[in-house]
Amino acid sequence: MTEIEINEIEKRVQKASRAPWKAYIEGRDHVSGSSFILVGDEENSLDDIELYGAKLDDYDFIANARQDIPKLIAEIRRLQSIIDKRHHN
């Protein structure tokens, strides 16, 4: 993966609604209404994300991606810096 690709992914993350995101699955996390993704925390939430045609696992994947992708980018950059240091020694 190139630095340009990582930067493009990071820009998309930065443009997305702020974290955290959490999937609320009807029947698992609450008992009435439909499934949705809560954006922000419960005290300071933004507009919920509702999906049409998504499987319940899709809700979990999309919601967790908001937190997971920044962690993955940080890990890629950490590992790349280790590789770069070894190549320069």
**Which sequence spans correspond to the domains of the chain?**
3-88
What's the rounded mean pLDDT across residues 26-33? 93
- Mean predicted confidence (pLDDT) in 20-42: 94
What pTM was computed for the model? 0.86
Residue 40: what pLDDT?
Answer: 93
pLDDT at 43: 86
Greatest CA separation for the chain: 60
Tokens of 47: 């507009």
Look at residue 61 in the predicted model and tell me its pLDDT: 98
Predicted local confidence at residue 64, as pLDDT: 98
Closest listed residue to residue 69, CA positions, set 4, 21, 33, 2: 21
Q: State the residue for tokens 């954006």.
A: 39
φ/ψ (deg, to 5) at 48: -65, 155
The three-class DSSP label of residue 23 is: strand
Q: Which of 79, 35, 41, 43 is nearest to 61 (CA)?
A: 35
